[in-house]
Amino acid sequence: MPDASVAAPGDSGWRKALLMAPALAWLGLLIVLPHAELAVLSFREQVGPRHYVPSLSHYHEFFHEPEYWHTFVRTAWMSIVATFATLCLAFPIAWVIAKIARGRAAVWLFLACMIPFWISETVRTLGWMILLRETGVLPALLVKLGILAHPVEFLYHDTTILVGLIYNSMLFMIVPLISSLESLDNALIEAAYDLGANGFTVLRKIVIPHAAPGITAGSIIVFMLTLGDYITPTLLGGKDSGWFTEQIYTEFITRFDWGQGAAFGFLLLVLSTLIVVAGLKLTGQRFGDVMGRT
Partner 1 sequence: MIPSLPRPAWLRVATALYVAAFLGFLFLPLIVVSVFAFNDAPYPAPPWHGFTLDWFFANDPAGRLGMFHDDELMHSIWTSCKVGVWVTLLAVLVGLVNALLLERHEFRGKKLLSILMLVPLVIPGVILGISILAFASQIAQFLNDHFHWYVRFLRPGLPLVVLGQFSYIATIATLTLRARLSRFDRTLEDAALNLGASRAATFRTILLPYLRPALVGTAMMSFLLSFADFNTTLMLVGGNPPLTVLMYGRMHEGATPVLNAVSVFLMAASALLAIALLRRGPRRASA
Compare residues 53 and 119 and give the one whose CB is closer to partner 1: 119
**What is residue 289's three-state secondary structure?**
helix
In angstroms, the CA 244 to CA 266 distance is 12
* Euclidean distance between CA atoms 88 and 292, whole angstroms: 23
Of the candidate residues 2, 48, 103, 196, the single one contacting partner 1 (CB under 8 A):
2
| Closest separation in Å from C-beta 15 to partner 1 | 8
Q: Is residue 56 at the binding interface for partner 1, with CB under 8 A as the rule?
A: no
By CB under 8 A, is residue 209 in contact with partner 1?
A: no
Q: DSSP strand E in 130-230: where?
A: none
204 touches partner 1 by CB under 8 A: no
Considering only residues 78, 93, 206, 222, which one is a binding residue for partner 1 as defined by CB under 8 A?
A: 93
DSSP symbol at 239: T
Binding-site member from 77, 120, 209, 274 for partner 1 (CB under 8 A)? 120
Q: Residue 147, interface with partner 1 (CB under 8 A)? A: no
The verdict on 281 binding partner 1 (CB under 8 A) reads no
d(CA 227, CA 240): 17
Rounded Cα distance, 96 and 56, in Å: 52
Cα angle vertex 283, ends 277, 284, to 5°?
A: 75
Does the protein bind partner 1 through residue 230 (CB under 8 A)?
yes
168 forms part of the interface with partner 1 (CB under 8 A): no
The SS3 call for residue 195 is coil
User: Among residue numbers 232 through 271, which ones bind partner 1 (CB under 8 A)?
Assistant: 234-235, 245, 248-249, 252-253, 258, 261-262, 265, 268-269
Count of residues interacting with partner 1 (CB under 8 A): 91
Binding-site string for partner 1 from residue 11 to residue 50, where x marks contact by CB under 8 A and - marks none: -x---x--xx-xx--xx-xxxxxxx-xx--x---------
The set of residues, in sequence order, having a beta carbon less than 8 Å from that of 7 and lying 6+ positions away, is 15
Helix, strand or coil, per DSSP, at residue 160: helix
Contact 263, 247 (CB under 8 A): no
The CA R_g of the chain, rounded to the nearest whole Å, is: 24
Least distance (Å) from partner 1 to the CB of residue 28? 10
In angstroms, give the least distance from the CB of 264 to partner 1. Answer: 9
Q: What is the DSSP letter of 184?
A: S
Q: Does 199 bind partner 1 (CB under 8 A)?
A: yes
The nearest distance, CB 234 to partner 1, in angstroms, is 8
Q: Please report how close the Cβ of residue 255 comes to partner 1 at its closest, in angstroms.
A: 13
